[in-house]
């Protein structure tokens, strides 16, 4: 085989490898799914056991306490603060996103049941988002 044939095969193999590796890197990330009502508090507690970044553990406690008290307005406000904190790990960010979806649904259900505080919280959120 001539040197050009080897160069061509080498370049072809390198290009094929780049395409195969590159194809694996461009997978779309699926959107987060909400937690069930029963699991959201536990998942928040698990993801924020340490206070890293600072302030996250206090917000996580505020969320879980509010959920236990069925104060979905307070839980929603706290999870909004938590989800925009800088320095969250990828896992913490995903937990915060999924918890936000769950708590938002709980808040909407409370509004549908006639909870005026839930209605006020959602109205305020829609005006300021």
Cα separation of 31 and 19, whole Å?
26
Arithmetic mean of pLDDT, 50-67: 96
Query: Picking from 3-17, 67-81, 92-106, which range would have the lowest pLDDT averaged per residue?
Result: 3-17
Q: What is the pLDDT of residues 28-48, one digit of tens each?
A: 878 899 999 999 999 999 999
Residues in the chain: 129
- 16 pLDDT tier (thresholds 50, 70, 90): very low
Please state whether the peptide bond connecting residue 60 to the residue before it is cis, i.e. omega within 30 degrees of 0. no
Q: Are 59 and 81 in contact (CB under 8 A)?
A: yes
Cα separation of 74 and 86, whole Å?
21
Q: What is the pLDDT of residues 78-102, one digit of tens each?
A: 999 999 999 999 999 999 999 999 9
pTM of the model: 0.77
Cα separation of 11 and 28, whole Å?
29
Token digits of residue 41: 């508090």
Q: Are 88 and 54 in contact (CB under 8 A)?
A: no
Q: Are 121 and 76 in contact (CB under 8 A)?
A: yes
């Amino acid at each position: 085989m001539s040197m050009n044939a080897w160069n061509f095969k080498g370049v072809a193999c390198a290009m094929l490898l780049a395409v195969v590796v590159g194809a694996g890197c461009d997978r779309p990330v699926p959107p987060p799914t909400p937690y069930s009502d029963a699991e959201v508090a536990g998942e928040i507690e698990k993801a924020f056991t340490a206070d890293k970044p600072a302030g996250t553990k206090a917000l996580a406690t505020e969320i879980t306490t509010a959920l236990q008290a069925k104060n979905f307005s307070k839980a929603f406000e706290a999870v909004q603060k938590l989800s925009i904190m800088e320095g969250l790990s990828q896992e913490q960010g995903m937990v915060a996103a999924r918890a936000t979806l769950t708590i938002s649904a709980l808040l909407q259900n409370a509004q549908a049941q006639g909870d005026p505080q839930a209605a006020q919280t959602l109205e305020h959120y829609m005006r300021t988002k």
